[in-house]
Copies of this chain bind each other. A is one copy, B any other.
Amino acid sequence: MMIASTLIAMTLIAPSDPSVYPETKATAEKTAVSPIFERYRGPAQRIITAALAENDAYRKLEELCTRIGHRLSGSPQLEQAIDWAVETMKKDGQENVRREKVTVPHWVRGQESVTMIEPRVERLAMLGLGGSIGTPPEGITAPVVVVSGKDELNSIGDQAKGKIVLFNNIMPPYDPEKGSGYGPAVQYRGKGATLASEKGAVACLIRSVTAKSLRSPHTGAMRYGANDKKIPAAALSTEDADTIARLQARGMPVVVTLKMEAQTLPDVLSGNVIGELRGSTQPDEVVVIGGHIDSWDVGQGAHDDGGGCVMAMEAINVLRKLNLIPRRTIRVVLFTNEENALGGGRAYAADHADELPKHVAAVEADSGVFRPTGYSVECENKEREGVAAEQLRDLVTLLSSIGSMKASTGHSGADISPMKPAGVILMGHDVEGATYFDYHHTQADTIDKVDPQVLSQNVAALATTAYILADMPTRLGERSNP
């Protein structure tokens, strides 16, 4: 399947990091709340109290991570996870639970390695990048040339020809003001192979996109340009990139052998998972909440994005148990194939095109299971975005018993982004971001990194928000009659 590179580009970005979205504007916290939201103070507190006291999200996530594990598009585990989600939501008594067909790419990693052979023999910590081609069986053996980025690559003339280019682009430590710095750091994962290939390189290595490492390589999607001579691409741990750079700085030439069995097989059928809490009076109007059910083929996809999936599944479960049925329908959508083509998000927007005018909002949780910090909003219609942001400033004050929350504008989530052209109001479920990129796309994204109490806080915030959005007398983004 041919995929627009702009859509793939979206998958390279973590949705709720302010540093990734420089246009993101946090809005001032409100003190007085308008009457439209004041009426939800009681239900909000009921939902929060119930969700924090007891909910099934951690049990669900533990089952997904432990019993099934990681789940890349094309893998049997992804289909097991989809089946599990359908069964689980049926058992929970959700309505219209189903799987909706999505065609997805099928990239497989196979065996892979990077071995330094000069100036000494040492196996390096690496992960091939998703979408990369493989190497010949004997591997590619070549000198490494280290550059900090595109400018340095351009400055070294033809020195990259016949060599392996290592982009040693350093992601800064997390900064509470500036965010993670993931956006600038991730660019070489996506386009490094293209840049290196243009200079005649035979393979591309990148420094893993993280500020913190225990020799932990980070995978993720790469893409080739339409006119590229394709070369294999892999990520080294930050430590290995650092060592090669230090050896080069000492004038000690580094030669490595890269072996990758990676290949792209024919597309396969996968599916988005749907389950609903049907609305009481306007069931045709829909609030989508969700995350993505696929993950990379390492770790367990606990933070990315098993956590987002179970938050959504459990949000409607909590509401149903409280018998809090809003006017409109809350639809859980667990998108497939976010990681390496956004197939699920695109299919949902296409297959539900007729219905999108009745989508009141779409909320995605895909930033890990950390302390919830509020909601961001974006909409093609800037006037509606502004009204929605103002309303969300009110709404998040009702979540203050969970913790300090903010509303902001400028970003949302990758899977819901294909609904943007239709004018749907998109929202990101934001969380504290200090450690997300330590685990992101690694073997270390496992259930033991998830705090059950923090997961409950997220369920409480999402359930409350979804309930209010689905029950508000006027739609989000529309001015109410006072």
Binding site for B on A (CB under 8 A): 62, 66-67, 69, 77, 119-120, 122, 125, 212-216, 238-239, 242-243, 246-247, 250, 252, 299-300, 438-439, 442-444, 446-448
Contacts and interface: CB of A to CB of B under 8 A. Distances in A.
Nearest to A124: B443
B446 A239 contact: yes
A247 B444 CA distance: 17
A435 to B, nearest CB: 11
10 contacts: A62-B246, A67-B247, A67-B250, A214-B214, A214-B438, A214-B443, A215-B299, A239-B444, A242-B448, A243-B300
Contacts of A122: 69
Nearest to A302: B239
Nearest to A239: B446
Contacts of A67: 119, 247, 250, 252
A448 B238 contact: yes
A171 to B, nearest CB: 13
Nearest to A111: B123
A439 B300 CA distance: 23
A442 B62 contact: no
Nearest to A439: B214
A-B pairs, 6 with minimum CB distance: A215-B443, A214-B444, A214-B214, A214-B216, A215-B444, A66-B246
A247 B250 CA distance: 48
A215 B446 contact: yes
Contact of A216 (B69, B119, B216, B250): B216
A354 B238 CA distance: 49
Contacts of A212: 214
Nearest to A116: B69
A443 B438 CA distance: 16
A279 to B, nearest CB: 37
Nearest to A125: B443
Nearest to A76: B120
Contacts of A299: 215
B66 A247 contact: yes
A442 B69 contact: no
B443 A239 contact: yes
B216 A448 contact: no
A88 to B, nearest CB: 15
Contacts of A446: 215, 239, 242-243
Nearest to A446: B239
Contacts of A438: 214
A250 B247 CA distance: 48
Contact of A447 (B246, B252, B439): B246
Contacts of A443: 125, 214-215, 239
B69 A215 contact: no
A109 B198 CA distance: 41
A113 to B, nearest CB: 11
Most buried by B among A77, A125, A214, A250: A214
A436 to B, nearest CB: 13
A74 to B, nearest CB: 16
Contacts of A447: 242-243, 246
Given A69-B122, A120-B77, A213 B250 contact: no
A217 to B, nearest CB: 10
A302 to B, nearest CB: 10
A215 B443 CA distance: 6
A247 B67 CA distance: 7
Contacts of A252: 67
Nearest to A449: B239
A400 B305 CA distance: 49
Contact of A214 (B69, B247, B442): B442
Given A67-B247, A216-B216, 17 more contacts: A62-B246, A67-B119, A67-B250, A67-B252, A212-B214, A214-B214, A214-B438, A214-B439, A214-B443, A215-B299, A215-B443, A215-B444, A239-B446, A239-B448, A242-B447, A243-B446, A246-B447
Contact of A66 (B69, B77, B250): B250
A114 B238 CA distance: 25
A72 B69 CA distance: 36
A242 B119 CA distance: 38
Contacts of A215: 214, 216, 299, 442-444, 446
